[in-house]
């Protein structure tokens, strides 16, 4: 069942938060995948679009086929909570590669997990190497290990 014209209550083409460059958006899309139909992620949670977990009040999405524009709108809407989590949690300066890696991690593990993570704890103690190593605490299910290695490597890359 196609859901043409569904706007998710958003502006027609919401912009991502200004801090998130296209390279970070592309990295998240690459890791999450882009799906117009619902599927179960490795954690067996119903998901659609770019890693959007279908919430209790979004059950209609379980039978939906989203347009490419709906997928993009939903993704950009989801990025807002991710941007807020980084802004709220991280208290140290970051280069763009570090921010990109953190956006990818946060988008995947969720705002609450991100804010309380050892990654953030190390960062806020100015322990950038400890923060990089803590990315590897988030490799369950095991299919996430290559993603975490890429995020960690990006985080450690100077601009």
- Angle, helix 22-32 to helix 96-109, in steps of 10 degrees: 30
**8 Ramachandran zone, left/alpha/beta (phi>0; psi -120 to 50):** left
Catalytic residue (one of 41, 58, 84, 118): 41
Tell me the C-alpha distance between 132 and 83, whole Å: 19
User: Is-catalytic flag, 41?
Assistant: yes
**How far is residue 57's CA from residue 126's CA, in Å, rounded to a whole number?**
40
90/61 Cα distance (integer angstroms): 33
Of 15, 32, 118, 151, which one is the catalytic site residue?
32
Q: Which two tokens stand for residue 109?
A: 């593990």
Q: Is 124 left (phi over 0), alpha (psi -120 to 50) or beta?
A: alpha
Pairing of β 46-49 and β 52-53: antiparallel
Catalytic residues: 32, 41
């Amino acid at each position: 069942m196609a859901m043409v014209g569904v706007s998710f209550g958003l502006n027609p083409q919401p912009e991502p938060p200004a801090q998130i460059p296209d390279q970070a958006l592309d990295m998240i899309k690459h890791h999450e995948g882009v799906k117009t139909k619902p599927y179960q992620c490795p954690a067996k949670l119903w998901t659609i679009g770019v890693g959007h977990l279908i919430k209790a009040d979004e059950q209609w999405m379980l039978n939906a086929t989203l347009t490419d524009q709906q997928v993009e709108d939903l993704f950009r809407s989801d990025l807002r909570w991710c941007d807020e989590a980084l802004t709220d949690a991280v208290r140290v300066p970051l280069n763009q590669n570090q921010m990109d890696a953190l956006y990818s991690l946060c988008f995947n593990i969720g705002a609450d997990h991100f804010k309380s993570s050892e990654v953030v704890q190390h960062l806020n103690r100015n322990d950038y190497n400890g923060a990089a190593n803590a990315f590897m605490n988030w490799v369950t299910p095991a299919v996430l290990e290559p993603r975490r290695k890429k995020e960690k490597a990006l985080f450690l890359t100077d601009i």
